């Protein structure tokens, strides 16, 4: 076993990594070449694997409750730094609290929640075909060659709070639009139900570029597009508009209007159509989008304000 193998064993890496770092940091004593280069990590900004603390709950449960009142001595017992324990438990709560406090405004010395008239909520929803069965009932098994062939389509919805429009003299329903990630393409093969080259509906792969195209053209979901993207900023500031993309706190579906009941209302109406194909699912969803009540959407915004209040009272928690 050579020196490189021993060093690799010591630092838990492969020998080629040790040799590469050695060549980068070796010094040429003859002076004909430059002195060794830096052996520090060449990657910039945030890089490397994500911080994972999957075994942290097990470590905490292994300690008696009498030793969990203070995080500092407890952190020594479960084998991690105090900062790790505090960050793991408080980071998400802090983000939710800040998000909720941003929606609080001051009116005549009293605190009120913002009316949320200048905010548009955008989110996606997978539409799938599900069957409810009784206890002991054998459900008919669905079979396909791949999970990619399962009957499902992603729906993207854009809503704002309903209000009275003084200019038009009528109510604005708040429903800005809903889009499906699907397209009409000619069938490549013949089947028992149709001929080849017949127009059929297919789902579209949801990629960064797909999101960006919908975001710019239809003001849709910016989750996979950078908020400072040149095309996005230009589209949001065109024709006198002044808009920006703001992300909600992660893992907080109770802080989005669409997840608070509006998606559920659409899916309940769509399920009544008993869709058996992708075209029928899309048609039923579009029909449900038109039928769902504006009062339901406004109630979801009131529910959002209540969730923001509870997030502040519970310091960002959702219990």
Q: Which residues contact 177 (CB under 8 A, 6 or more apart)?
A: 157, 158, 218, 219, 220
* CA 173, 176, 182, 183 torsion-angle sign: positive
* Per-residue confidence (pLDDT) for residue 313, from 0 to 100: 87
Q: What are phi and psi of 171, to 5 degrees?
A: -80, 135
pLDDT band of 302, cuts 50, 70, 90: very high
* Average pLDDT of the residues in 210-236: 61
Q: What are phi and psi of 273, to 5 degrees?
A: -80, -15
Between 113 and 43, name the one with better pLDDT.
113
Q: pLDDT > 90: what percent of the chain?
A: 7
Domain 104-131+146-313 = CATH 1.10.3210:
no
Nearest CA to 318 out of 58, 100, 70 is that of: 100
Q: What is the per-residue pLDDT across 283-299, written as a single tens digit (0 to 9) for each?
A: 888 899 999 989 999 99
Kindly tell me the burial class for residue 205, based on how many C-beta atoms sit within 10 Å of its own C-beta (0-12, 13-18, 19 or more): exposed
* Per-residue confidence (pLDDT) for residue 75, from 0 to 100: 46
Q: Which of 112-126, 138-152, 153-167 has the lowest mean pLDDT?
A: 138-152
Predicted structure pTM score = 0.62
What is the C-alpha separation between 216 and 225, in angstroms, rounded?
A: 10
Question: Does pLDDT of 162 surpass 90?
Answer: yes
Q: What are phi and psi of 297, to 5 degrees?
A: -65, -40
What stretches of the chain adopt beta strand conformation (E)? Answer: 104-107, 110-113, 121-128, 152-159, 163-165, 170-172, 175-180, 182-186, 199-203
* Per-residue confidence (pLDDT) for residue 124, from 0 to 100: 82
pLDDT band of 256, cuts 50, 70, 90: confident
Question: Does pLDDT of 169 surpass 60?
Answer: yes
> Are the C-beta atoms of residues 125 and 179 closer than 8 Å to each other?
no
Length of the chain: 319
Question: Does pLDDT of 260 surpass 50?
Answer: yes
What is the C-alpha separation between 25 and 4, in angstroms, rounded?
A: 14
**123 forms bridges with which residues in the sheet?**
157
Which CA distances in Å does 92 have to 17, 84, 96, 257?
Answer: 37, 13, 6, 19
Q: pLDDT > 70: what percent of the chain?
A: 68
> Are the C-beta atoms of residues 53 and 89 closer than 8 Å to each other?
no
Between 304 and 217, name the one with better pLDDT.
304
What is the C-alpha separation between 309 and 316, in angstroms, rounded?
A: 10
Q: How far is CA 263 from the centre of its chain?
A: 16
**DSSP letter assigned to residue 137:** P
pLDDT band of 130, cuts 50, 70, 90: low
* Per-residue confidence (pLDDT) for residue 301, from 0 to 100: 92
What is the C-alpha separation between 42 and 72, in angstroms, rounded?
A: 35
Question: Does pLDDT of 224 surpass 50?
Answer: no
> Are the C-beta atoms of residues 284 and 155 closer than 8 Å to each other?
no
Question: Does pLDDT of 78 surpass 50?
Answer: no
* Per-residue confidence (pLDDT) for residue 152, from 0 to 100: 79
What is the C-alpha separation between 155 and 152, in angstroms, rounded?
A: 10
Kindly tell me the burial class for residue 31, based on how many C-beta atoms sit within 10 Å of its own C-beta (0-12, 13-18, 19 or more): exposed
Q: What are phi and psi of 202, to 5 degrees?
A: -130, 150
Domain boundaries, the chain: 1-29, 53-93, 104-131+146-313
Report the mean per-residue pLDDT for the chain.
77
* Average pLDDT of the residues in 253-271: 86
Helices (H), 151-199: none
Q: Which of 48-62, 193-207, 253-267 has the lowest mean pLDDT?
A: 48-62
Between 18 and 71, name the one with better pLDDT.
18
What is the C-alpha separation between 220 and 307, in angstroms, rounded?
A: 24
Question: Does pLDDT of 243 surpass 80?
Answer: no
Q: What is the per-residue pLDDT across 21-70, written as a single tens digit (0 to 9) for each?
A: 888 777 655 655 555 666 666 666 666 666 666 666 677 677 766 555 55
């Amino acid at each position: 076993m050579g020196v490189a193998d021993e060093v690799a064993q010591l630092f838990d890496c492969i020998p080629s990594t040790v040799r590469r770092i050695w060549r980068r940091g070796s010094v040429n004593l003859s002076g004909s070449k430059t002195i060794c280069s830096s052996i520090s990590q060449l990657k910039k900004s945030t890089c490397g694997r994500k911080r994972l603390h999957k075994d942290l709950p097990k470590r905490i449960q292994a300690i008696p409750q009498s030793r969990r009142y203070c995080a500092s001595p407890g952190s020594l017992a479960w084998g991690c730094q105090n900062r790790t324990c505090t960050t793991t438990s408080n980071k998400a709560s802090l983000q939710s609290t800040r998000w909720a406090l941003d929606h609080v405004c001051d009116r005549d010395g009293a605190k009120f929640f913002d009316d949320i008239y200048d905010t548009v909520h955008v989110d996606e929803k997978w539409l799938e075909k599900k069957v409810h069965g009784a206890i002991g009932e054998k459900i008919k098994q669905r079979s396909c060659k791949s999970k990619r062939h399962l009957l499902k389509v992603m729906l993207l919805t854009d809503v704002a709070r309903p209000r009275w429009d003084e200019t038009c003299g009528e109510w604005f329903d708040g429903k800005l639009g809903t889009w499906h990630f699907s397209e009409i393409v000619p069938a490549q093969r013949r089947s028992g139900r149709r001929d080849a080259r017949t127009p059929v509906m297919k789902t579209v792969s949801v990629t960064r570029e797909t999101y960006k195209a919908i975001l710019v053209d239809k003001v849709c979901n910016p989750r996979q597009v950078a908020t400072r993207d040149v095309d996005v900023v230009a589209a949001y500031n065109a024709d006198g508009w002044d808009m920006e993309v703001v992300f909600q706190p992660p893992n907080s579906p109770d802080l989005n209007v669409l997840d608070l009941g509006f998606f559920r209302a659409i899916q309940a109406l769509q399920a009544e159509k008993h869709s058996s194909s992708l075209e029928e699912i899309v048609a039923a969803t579009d029909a449900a989008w038109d039928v769902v009540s504006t009062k339901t959407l406004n109630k979801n915004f009131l529910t959002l304000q209540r969730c923001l209040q509870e997030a502040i009272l519970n310091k960002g928690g959702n219990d």
